[in-house]
Amino acid sequence: MSTGHHFRPVAGPTPLEVTPATAGWRYLSFGVWALQEGESRTGQTGGLEVALVPITGELEVQVGSALFHLKRQDVFSALPSVLYLPPASTYRVTALQASELAWGGAPAEGRYPLRLFQPPEMRVEMRGGGPALRQVSHILGPHLPAERLILYEVYTPSGTWSGWPPHRHDGQMGSLYIEETYYYKVSPKSGWAIHRNYSPEDGLDELLLAHDGDLILAPKGYHPVVAPPGSNVYYLNYMAGEALCEQRATPPVDEPDWAWMRQDWSGRPITLPIGQK
Protein backbone atom coordinates (compact mmCIF):
# COMPACT_ATOMS: atom_id res chain seq x y z
CA MET A 1 0.00 0.00 0.00
CA SER A 2 1.22 3.52 -0.75
CA THR A 3 -0.09 7.00 -0.13
CA GLY A 4 1.56 9.82 -2.04
CA HIS A 5 5.24 9.75 -1.09
CA HIS A 6 4.77 7.20 1.73
CA PHE A 7 5.07 3.45 1.01
CA ARG A 8 4.23 0.70 3.50
CA PRO A 9 5.88 -2.73 3.01
CA VAL A 10 3.76 -5.53 1.59
CA ALA A 11 4.05 -9.25 2.28
CA GLY A 12 6.14 -11.28 -0.14
CA PRO A 13 9.60 -11.38 -1.70
CA THR A 14 9.54 -7.69 -2.73
CA PRO A 15 8.20 -5.68 0.23
CA LEU A 16 9.03 -2.35 -1.43
CA GLU A 17 9.87 -1.14 -4.91
CA VAL A 18 9.77 2.27 -6.60
CA THR A 19 10.92 3.32 -10.05
CA PRO A 20 11.16 6.78 -11.60
CA ALA A 21 7.74 6.15 -13.16
CA THR A 22 6.04 5.20 -9.88
CA ALA A 23 7.91 7.87 -7.88
CA GLY A 24 7.18 10.64 -10.37
CA TRP A 25 10.79 11.67 -10.77
CA ARG A 26 13.69 11.12 -13.21
CA TYR A 27 16.65 9.23 -11.81
CA LEU A 28 16.31 7.03 -8.75
CA SER A 29 15.01 3.46 -8.35
CA PHE A 30 14.86 1.66 -5.00
CA GLY A 31 13.61 -1.64 -3.64
CA VAL A 32 13.87 -4.20 -0.85
CA TRP A 33 14.08 -7.98 -1.29
CA ALA A 34 13.12 -10.44 1.45
CA LEU A 35 14.73 -13.85 0.92
CA GLN A 36 14.24 -17.04 2.87
CA GLU A 37 17.17 -19.33 3.64
CA GLY A 38 18.33 -21.01 0.44
CA GLU A 39 16.28 -18.73 -1.82
CA SER A 40 17.92 -17.08 -4.84
CA ARG A 41 16.98 -14.13 -7.05
CA THR A 42 18.54 -12.82 -10.22
CA GLY A 43 18.82 -9.17 -11.20
CA GLN A 44 20.11 -7.15 -14.12
CA THR A 45 21.35 -3.59 -13.85
CA GLY A 46 20.64 -2.65 -17.48
CA GLY A 47 21.54 1.00 -17.96
CA LEU A 48 21.85 1.67 -14.22
CA GLU A 49 24.61 1.61 -11.67
CA VAL A 50 23.24 -0.35 -8.71
CA ALA A 51 24.28 -0.59 -5.06
CA LEU A 52 23.28 -3.52 -2.82
CA VAL A 53 23.06 -2.98 0.95
CA PRO A 54 22.38 -5.85 3.38
CA ILE A 55 19.82 -4.91 6.03
CA THR A 56 19.87 -8.19 7.94
CA GLY A 57 21.00 -11.78 7.34
CA GLU A 58 23.72 -13.40 5.25
CA LEU A 59 23.91 -13.51 1.46
CA GLU A 60 26.16 -14.47 -1.42
CA VAL A 61 26.12 -12.42 -4.61
CA GLN A 62 27.46 -13.94 -7.83
CA VAL A 63 28.49 -11.49 -10.55
CA GLY A 64 30.11 -13.33 -13.45
CA SER A 65 32.94 -15.36 -11.94
CA ALA A 66 33.15 -13.13 -8.83
CA LEU A 67 31.47 -14.16 -5.57
CA PHE A 68 30.78 -11.65 -2.79
CA HIS A 69 29.66 -12.26 0.79
CA LEU A 70 27.31 -9.83 2.56
CA LYS A 71 26.43 -10.34 6.23
CA ARG A 72 24.79 -8.16 8.86
CA GLN A 73 23.04 -8.94 12.12
CA ASP A 74 20.88 -5.82 11.86
CA VAL A 75 21.23 -2.13 11.09
CA PHE A 76 21.66 -1.15 14.75
CA SER A 77 24.67 -3.45 15.24
CA ALA A 78 27.19 -2.74 12.48
CA LEU A 79 28.03 -0.93 9.27
CA PRO A 80 27.32 -2.86 6.06
CA SER A 81 29.45 -3.90 3.16
CA VAL A 82 28.08 -2.29 -0.03
CA LEU A 83 28.34 -4.00 -3.42
CA TYR A 84 28.57 -1.59 -6.36
CA LEU A 85 27.47 -2.95 -9.74
CA PRO A 86 28.10 -1.08 -13.01
CA PRO A 87 25.62 -1.02 -15.89
CA ALA A 88 25.12 -4.19 -17.97
CA SER A 89 25.73 -6.47 -14.96
CA THR A 90 23.79 -9.66 -14.23
CA TYR A 91 23.86 -10.84 -10.63
CA ARG A 92 22.42 -13.66 -8.57
CA VAL A 93 21.67 -13.25 -4.85
CA THR A 94 21.44 -16.34 -2.63
CA ALA A 95 20.37 -16.16 1.02
CA LEU A 96 22.44 -18.30 3.38
CA GLN A 97 19.88 -17.44 6.08
CA ALA A 98 16.67 -15.42 6.10
CA SER A 99 17.79 -12.01 4.84
CA GLU A 100 16.68 -8.57 3.77
CA LEU A 101 18.54 -6.72 1.04
CA ALA A 102 18.11 -3.14 -0.17
CA TRP A 103 19.02 -2.16 -3.71
CA GLY A 104 18.86 1.06 -5.67
CA GLY A 105 20.10 2.40 -8.95
CA ALA A 106 20.48 5.39 -11.22
CA PRO A 107 21.40 5.92 -14.90
CA ALA A 108 25.12 5.61 -15.53
CA GLU A 109 27.64 5.22 -18.34
CA GLY A 110 29.85 2.58 -16.74
CA ARG A 111 32.78 4.73 -15.63
CA TYR A 112 33.46 2.64 -12.50
CA PRO A 113 34.00 -1.11 -12.09
CA LEU A 114 32.36 -3.74 -9.93
CA ARG A 115 33.54 -3.21 -6.36
CA LEU A 116 32.76 -4.25 -2.79
CA PHE A 117 33.06 -1.33 -0.37
CA GLN A 118 33.97 -2.39 3.18
CA PRO A 119 33.25 -0.56 6.47
CA PRO A 120 36.86 0.70 6.95
CA GLU A 121 36.46 2.71 3.72
CA MET A 122 33.32 4.46 4.95
CA ARG A 123 33.31 7.80 6.74
CA VAL A 124 31.33 7.96 9.97
CA GLU A 125 30.34 11.48 11.02
CA MET A 126 28.71 12.82 14.15
CA ARG A 127 26.65 15.65 12.75
CA GLY A 128 24.85 18.52 14.47
CA GLY A 129 24.66 18.83 18.24
CA GLY A 130 22.31 19.13 21.21
CA PRO A 131 18.83 17.90 20.27
CA ALA A 132 19.99 17.50 16.65
CA LEU A 133 22.99 15.23 17.27
CA ARG A 134 22.97 12.18 14.99
CA GLN A 135 25.33 9.76 13.24
CA VAL A 136 25.71 9.87 9.47
CA SER A 137 27.53 6.91 7.92
CA HIS A 138 28.79 7.63 4.39
CA ILE A 139 28.43 4.06 3.11
CA LEU A 140 28.72 5.21 -0.52
CA GLY A 141 29.50 8.83 0.14
CA PRO A 142 30.99 11.33 -2.30
CA HIS A 143 34.48 10.25 -1.19
CA LEU A 144 33.84 6.83 -2.80
CA PRO A 145 33.58 6.40 -6.58
CA ALA A 146 30.18 6.30 -8.24
CA GLU A 147 28.55 8.24 -11.06
CA ARG A 148 25.25 9.44 -9.56
CA LEU A 149 24.53 7.28 -6.53
CA ILE A 150 25.11 8.56 -2.99
CA LEU A 151 24.24 6.39 0.02
CA TYR A 152 24.01 7.33 3.69
CA GLU A 153 22.80 5.57 6.81
CA VAL A 154 21.55 7.95 9.51
CA TYR A 155 20.94 7.14 13.19
CA THR A 156 18.61 9.49 15.05
CA PRO A 157 18.59 8.68 18.79
CA SER A 158 15.46 8.75 20.90
CA GLY A 159 14.24 12.31 21.38
CA THR A 160 16.41 13.99 18.72
CA TRP A 161 16.18 15.44 15.20
CA SER A 162 18.01 14.75 11.96
CA GLY A 163 18.02 16.52 8.64
CA TRP A 164 18.41 19.66 10.72
CA PRO A 165 18.55 22.50 9.97
CA PRO A 166 16.05 21.73 7.20
CA HIS A 167 17.82 21.60 3.85
CA ARG A 168 16.98 21.09 0.20
CA HIS A 169 18.62 19.76 -2.95
CA ASP A 170 15.84 20.12 -5.51
CA GLY A 171 17.32 22.68 -7.92
CA GLN A 172 15.86 25.60 -5.94
CA MET A 173 17.91 28.38 -4.27
CA GLY A 174 21.03 27.36 -6.18
CA SER A 175 20.99 23.73 -5.04
CA LEU A 176 21.63 20.77 -7.33
CA TYR A 177 18.67 18.56 -8.19
CA ILE A 178 19.02 15.26 -6.30
CA GLU A 179 16.24 12.73 -5.53
CA GLU A 180 16.23 10.86 -2.21
CA THR A 181 14.59 7.85 -0.56
CA TYR A 182 14.27 7.18 3.18
CA TYR A 183 14.00 3.53 4.22
CA TYR A 184 13.16 3.38 7.93
CA LYS A 185 13.99 0.94 10.71
CA VAL A 186 12.92 1.72 14.28
CA SER A 187 13.97 0.25 17.64
CA PRO A 188 11.79 -0.93 19.24
CA LYS A 189 9.66 -2.02 16.28
CA SER A 190 6.60 -0.51 17.96
CA GLY A 191 8.24 2.92 17.74
CA TRP A 192 7.91 5.51 15.00
CA ALA A 193 9.33 8.72 13.55
CA ILE A 194 7.83 11.87 12.08
CA HIS A 195 9.01 12.88 8.60
CA ARG A 196 8.05 16.22 7.09
CA ASN A 197 8.30 17.13 3.39
CA TYR A 198 7.65 20.80 2.65
CA SER A 199 8.36 23.27 -0.12
CA PRO A 200 6.76 26.69 0.42
CA GLU A 201 7.28 27.65 -3.22
CA ASP A 202 5.31 24.64 -4.49
CA GLY A 203 2.61 24.30 -1.84
CA LEU A 204 3.94 20.92 -0.65
CA ASP A 205 3.54 20.32 3.09
CA GLU A 206 3.06 16.76 4.36
CA LEU A 207 3.66 15.32 7.81
CA LEU A 208 4.21 11.55 7.60
CA LEU A 209 4.33 8.92 10.34
CA ALA A 210 7.16 6.47 9.60
CA HIS A 211 7.01 2.98 11.11
CA ASP A 212 9.61 0.21 10.98
CA GLY A 213 9.98 -0.91 7.34
CA ASP A 214 8.37 2.15 5.74
CA LEU A 215 9.75 3.97 2.70
CA ILE A 216 9.30 7.72 2.28
CA LEU A 217 10.35 9.77 -0.73
CA ALA A 218 11.75 13.28 -0.47
CA PRO A 219 10.45 14.69 -3.77
CA LYS A 220 11.47 18.33 -3.29
CA GLY A 221 11.92 21.01 -0.69
CA TYR A 222 12.96 20.37 2.92
CA HIS A 223 12.70 17.01 4.72
CA PRO A 224 13.59 16.90 8.46
CA VAL A 225 12.96 13.89 10.73
CA VAL A 226 12.31 13.61 14.47
CA ALA A 227 12.50 10.55 16.73
CA PRO A 228 10.14 10.79 19.75
CA PRO A 229 11.43 9.77 23.19
CA GLY A 230 11.67 5.99 23.32
CA SER A 231 12.06 5.49 19.55
CA ASN A 232 15.55 5.07 18.08
CA VAL A 233 15.39 5.67 14.35
CA TYR A 234 17.55 4.50 11.46
CA TYR A 235 17.05 5.39 7.83
CA LEU A 236 18.90 4.41 4.68
CA ASN A 237 19.20 7.18 2.10
CA TYR A 238 19.70 6.45 -1.57
CA MET A 239 20.27 9.66 -3.53
CA ALA A 240 20.79 10.37 -7.23
CA GLY A 241 20.28 13.29 -9.57
CA GLU A 242 22.12 15.72 -11.77
CA ALA A 243 25.29 15.66 -9.63
CA LEU A 244 27.94 13.54 -11.36
CA CYS A 245 31.05 11.97 -9.81
CA GLU A 246 32.88 14.67 -7.80
CA GLN A 247 29.81 16.96 -7.92
CA ARG A 248 28.16 14.49 -5.54
CA ALA A 249 30.01 16.33 -2.74
CA THR A 250 28.02 19.54 -3.39
CA PRO A 251 26.24 20.45 -0.12
CA PRO A 252 22.50 21.11 0.08
CA VAL A 253 21.02 24.54 0.88
CA ASP A 254 19.67 25.27 4.36
CA GLU A 255 16.28 26.85 4.97
CA PRO A 256 17.15 30.50 5.75
CA ASP A 257 14.89 30.69 8.82
CA TRP A 258 16.80 27.87 10.54
CA ALA A 259 20.38 28.18 9.26
CA TRP A 260 21.39 29.97 12.50
CA MET A 261 21.25 26.66 14.36
CA ARG A 262 24.62 25.65 12.92
CA GLN A 263 26.05 28.27 15.33
CA ASP A 264 23.87 27.27 18.30
CA TRP A 265 22.79 23.64 18.37
CA SER A 266 21.06 24.09 21.73
CA GLY A 267 18.10 25.64 19.90
CA ARG A 268 17.77 28.48 22.44
CA PRO A 269 15.44 26.61 24.80
CA ILE A 270 13.38 28.45 27.36
CA THR A 271 14.25 27.95 31.02
CA LEU A 272 11.83 26.05 33.26
CA PRO A 273 9.94 26.41 35.51
CA ILE A 274 7.95 29.41 34.30
CA GLY A 275 5.68 31.51 36.50
CA GLN A 276 7.37 30.61 39.79
CA LYS A 277 9.73 32.63 41.92
Question: Per the domain annotation, does 200 fall within a domain?
Answer: yes
Interacting residues of 29 by C-beta distance below 8 A, sequence separation 6+: 18, 19, 20, 48, 104, 105, 106
Question: Per the domain annotation, does 6 fall within a domain?
Answer: no
Q: What does the pLDDT look like over 215-242, one tens digit per residue?
A: 999 999 999 999 999 999 999 999 999 9
Q: What does the pLDDT look like over 236-267, one tens digit per residue?
A: 999 999 999 999 999 999 999 999 999 999 99
Higher pLDDT, 1 or 226: 226
What is the three-class DSSP state of 148? Answer: coil
Question: Per the domain annotation, does 80 fall within a domain?
Answer: yes
What average pLDDT score do residues 77-103 get? 98
How many domains is the chain partitioned into structurally? Answer: 1
Give the rounded percent of residues in the chain with a pLDDT score beyond 70.
Answer: 99
- pLDDT-derived band of residue 1, with 50, 70 and 90 as boundaries? very low
- pLDDT-derived band of residue 3, with 50, 70 and 90 as boundaries? low
Question: Per the domain annotation, does 236 fall within a domain?
Answer: yes
Determine the distance from the C-alpha atom of residue 182 to the mean position of all C-alpha atoms in its chain, rounded to a whole number: 5
Could you check whether the bond before residue 15 is cis, i.e. omega within 30 degrees of 0?
no
d(CA 236, CA 276) in angstroms, rounded, equals 45
- pLDDT-derived band of residue 2, with 50, 70 and 90 as boundaries? low
The pLDDT of residue 4 is: 78
Domain of 137, CATH number, reads 2.60.120.10
* b/e map 59-94, b = 16+ CB within 10 Å: bebebeeeebebbbeebeeebbbbbbbbbebebebb
Q: What does the pLDDT look like over 4-34, one tens digit per residue?
A: 799 999 999 999 999 999 999 999 999 999 9
What average pLDDT score do residues 104-108 get? 98
Question: Per the domain annotation, does 275 fall within a domain?
Answer: no
Q: What does the pLDDT look like over 121-150, one tens digit per residue?
A: 999 999 999 999 999 999 999 999 999 999
- pLDDT-derived band of residue 276, with 50, 70 and 90 as boundaries? confident
Question: Per the domain annotation, does 268 fall within a domain?
Answer: no
Domain containing residue 120: 13-260
Question: Per the domain annotation, does 273 fall within a domain?
Answer: no
- Neighbouring CB atoms inside 10 A of 115's CB total 16
Give the rounded percent of residues in the chain with a pLDDT score beyond 90.
Answer: 97
